[in-house]
Amino acid sequence: MKKFFLLLFLQFFFFGLLRAQTYERSFYSGGDKREFLLHLPGENPQTGMPLVIVLHGHGGSGEQIMKETNFNDLSDREKFIVVYPDGLKKSWNDGREKKGDSKSDDVKFLDRLIDTLYSEYGIDTGRVFFTGMSNGGFMSITLAYRLNGRVLAIAPICANMPELLGKVYSLQKPVSVMLINGTDDPLVKWEGGKVGFDFGKARGYSMSTDETIKLFVKENKCSETPVHDEIPDVIEDDNCFAEKYTFRGGLSGAEVVLVKVINGGHTVPGGNQYLPKAVVGNTCMDFKAAEIIWTFFKSRVKR
Phi and psi torsions of 22, nearest 5°: -120, 130
Q: Which residues pair with 264 in a beta bridge?
A: 282
pLDDT score, position 40: 97
Query: Under a CB-based contact definition with an 8 Å cutoff, are residues 118 and 111 in contact?
Result: no
Q: How would you classify residue 79: left for phi > 0, otherwise alpha for psi between -120 and 50, otherwise beta?
A: left
Q: Are 255 and 176 in contact (CB under 8 A)?
A: yes
pLDDT at 11: 44
pLDDT, residue 290, reads 98
Beta pairing, strands 153-157 & 128-133: parallel
Could you tell me whether strands 32-40 and 193-194 are parallel, antiparallel, or unpaired per DSSP bridges?
unpaired
What's at 218, amino acid-wise? K
- Between CA 296 and CA 214 the distance in angstroms is 19
Helix (H) / strand (E) element for 293: namely: helix 289-298
* pLDDT confidence of residue 14: 41
Q: CB-based burial of residue 132 (10 Å sphere; 0-12 exposed, 13-18 middle, 19+ buried)?
A: buried
Look at residue 20 in the predicted model and tell me its pLDDT: 60
**Can you give the pLDDT of all 303 residues of the chain as single tens digits?**
444 444 444 444 444 443 469 999 999 999 999 999 999 998 778 899 999 999 999 999 999 999 999 999 999 999 999 999 999 999 999 988 765 566 789 999 999 999 999 999 999 999 999 999 999 999 999 999 999 999 999 999 999 999 999 999 999 999 999 999 999 999 999 999 999 998 888 889 999 999 999 999 999 999 999 999 999 999 989 999 999 999 999 999 999 999 999 999 999 999 988 888 999 999 999 999 999 999 999 999 776
Cross-strand pairs, 183:
none
Q: Where are the domains of the chain?
A: 16-298
Buried b (16+ CB within 10 A) or exposed e, 237-259: ebbbbbebbbbeebeeebbbbbb
Indicate the DSSP class of residue 264: B
CATH 3.40.50.1820 correct for 16-298? yes
Positive/negative CA dihedral, 62, 64, 67, 69? negative
Report strand pairing: 153-157 vs 81-85: unpaired
